[in-house]
Structure 1
C-alpha cells in the first residue's frame, strides 16, 4: 500500500474552503482496462497511424465502451452503430471488442472492405460456445442473458439460426418497450445458458435463479463474467464497507462500469459514475464523507482515472492505492497482425 504526503496547513485551509472533510482517497488495486480492451486500444492506435489522415476509418460501435478514449481522433474514426451498410466499399472497418455476427464479415468481404478485428478473445469463445451448443443434439437451444440492443448480444445471436437461441434481457423492466416477463418465455429442457461477458457475477446469478424457476433443467455451468469484471466487482466489495463515498470512473454506456457503481447503492453508500474530473460535484462530499473509494470500469484507460484523482491530489488529499484483491497475471491479447500487415500494404506503409 503506497501513501502520499501528509496534508499541509495551507492545503487544509483549501479543504475547509470547500467544506470538505475528506481525509484520504482509497484507490482500488483491481481497476481499469482488461487485456481485451488494452489490445483494442493498441490496435486502434496502430490503424490510425497507418491510415492517412484524410481517410475515414469506420467501426461498428465505439471500439470499447469509453468513447473519450477515442475523442482525439475526431471525424477520422466514424461509428456506424452496427449498420455496415453505412460503410463505403473498399473502406477500413474496425470490429469493436464486442464482436459482430458472421453476416458482417460476409458483407465486408463482398464489398472489398478491409476488416481489422479487435473482438475480445473471451467474446470469441462465447460465440463458439453458442455455435457448439446449437449443433449439439443433447442441447440444441441456447438462452442468452444480455441486453437485446447491445453489440455483443447482436454478435452472439447472429452465430446461429434465430430459432436456436432465446435472448433474455434482464435490464428491461415492466413498462419498458419490448418488455417480456421471464415467466412468459418458453425455455426448452436442457437449454444452455450463456451470459454477456460484462455482466456482474451477482447479476448473472440472480437472472439464472429466475430462469430456473421456469425450467430447472437448464445448464448454467458456462454462464460466466469475464475475469476483469469479476475482479473489479470483488475488489470493490472488499473495500466498500470502509469508505463513505464510492466514485467510479466509467461511461454510462458501459454496463460493467454501471454495475461497479451499483456496489455503493447495494451497501447504502452514496455513489457516482463519471468520465472525468469536470463531472465531479463537490457537494457530494458533505458532512461525514472522510474516506473516498475510487475504482474504474474495465473499459477505462488508467490516464482517465488519474485525471479524476488529480483534483484531490491538488488539495493535498492523500491517495492510497490498495493492493490487488486478485492477481491478474494475463498477457495482453494477441493483435490481428496479418490484418494490420494487409492494411500497410494497402497504404504502402513500411
Structure 2
C-alpha cells in the first residue's frame, strides 16, 4: 500500500480506544511466551492460542507447534490449551495420555463453562447463543448432554424451537458475539419463554462490549472504518459488522499492507479499530502509514482497560 494524502484526499484518521489485546488474550500470549522462555521449544498448543495470524506466525518461528488433533502431541509432552476454551473430552484425552496441560482458557470463557455445568446439574434446559463451529461454542456445548441444550445462531432459530414442557430455562452465550444481535435474540426468547432466566452478570465479555461501543461512536464521525484483525477472529468480524450496521463502509485487514487505496477515494476521515487479539504494533504501523504522508491523527477514547488483568495459569 502506497499512501498519498493529496491523491486520496485524506484529512484525518481517528483511532478508537480501547483496542488491541484484551486481558484474556494478554494472559494466553504471556503464558506461551513464558513457557518458551522457561522450557524452550518445542511447545505444543492445541488450536491457535488466539485468532490472530501475526501472533501465530511469531510463535511458530520460536518453535511453537499448533495442532488441532491432540493425538499429534507426544505422550507426556507439555501442551497449552487455547484461550477459546476446550471441550471436556480433550481434558480427558490429555489425562489418559499423561500430557502436561497448561490451560490458557480466558477466565470469562471458563465462567460460561461453569454456568453451563451448574445450570445443567440444577435441571435447567439451556439456550446457548453462539456460532456453531467456533471453538468456544464447541467447548461449552460439550459440558451439557445434547437433550438439555439447543444452539441458537439467529432469531430464525428461536422460532424453530418446539414448545417446551420444561419450566426451568436459562440462556447463555458466546463471549465474542455482536452485543446488539445477541440482545435481539434474547428478547425474542423472552417473548416465547417468559420464565427464561439469565445468570447474574453478562456473558458478552467486557472487551467485546467496549470495542463495539467504540465503533458505534466512531461510525458517527468517520467516512470509513478499518478493522485490524484476522478473518478467523470472531470479535474482529463483529466489529466490521457493527460499523456496517451504522451505515459506514468497513474493511477487515490483517495489517497495513492489505489496505486497498481505492477504498479511500472520496474519503476524508478514516476510523481505525482493532480486535481483542491484535498486537498493538500492527495498529501502530497502520497509523504511521497515514501520518507519514501528513494525515492528522486523533484518538476516540471511551473507557480505560489498562488496569484489567487476569492471573496466569497456576503452572507459571
Indicate the SS of the match to 2:35: helix
Say which is worse superposed, 324-333 or 189-198, in terms of deviation. 324-333
For structure 2, the residue ranges without an aligned partner over 5 or more in a row are: none
Q: 1:325 aligns with which of 292, 302, 312?
A: 302
| 2:80 is aligned with 1:80 | no
Aligned mates of 1:206, 1:253 — CA distance in 2: 24
Q: Which of the two has higher C-alpha Rg?
A: 1
Q: 1:22 aligns with which of 1, 10, 16?
A: 10
C-alpha displacement of 1:92: 1.8
C-alpha displacement of 1:217: 2.4
Q: Which residue of 2 aligns with 1:227?
A: 206
* 2:125–2:148 contact (8 Å) kept in structure 1: yes
**TM-score, L = length of structure 2:** 0.91
Say which is worse superposed, 187-196 or 274-283, in terms of deviation. 187-196
C-alpha displacement of 1:110: 1.7
C-alpha displacement of 1:230: 0.4
Q: Which residue of 2 aligns with 1:108?
A: 94
Structure 1 residues 142 and 220 mapped into 2: Cα distance closer, same or farther (>3 Å)? same
* 1:236–1:295 contact (8 Å) kept in structure 2: yes
How many residues are paired up? 310
Indicate the SS of the match to 1:320: strand
Task: Provide Cα deviations, 1:73-105, integer angstroms capped at 9, x if missing partner.
Answer: 327323323x32232211221111111122222
For structure 1, the residue ranges without an aligned partner over 5 or more in a row are: 1-12, 172-179, 341-350
* 1:98–1:151 contact (8 Å) kept in structure 2: yes
Say which is worse superposed, 208-217 or 103-112, in terms of deviation. 208-217
Q: Which residue of 2 aligns with 1:271?
A: 250
Q: 1:96 aligns with which of 65, 69, 82?
A: 82
Q: Which residue of 2 aligns with 1:184?
A: 160
* 1:240–1:263 contact (8 Å) kept in structure 2: no
Q: What does 1:249-328 align with in structure 2 at a 5 Å threshold? A: 249-287=228-266, 289-322=267-300, 324-328=301-305
C-alpha displacement of 1:329: 5.5
Q: 2:311 aligns with which of 302, 311, 334?
A: 334
Q: Which residue of 2 aligns with 1:131?
A: 117
C-alpha displacement of 1:212: 3.3
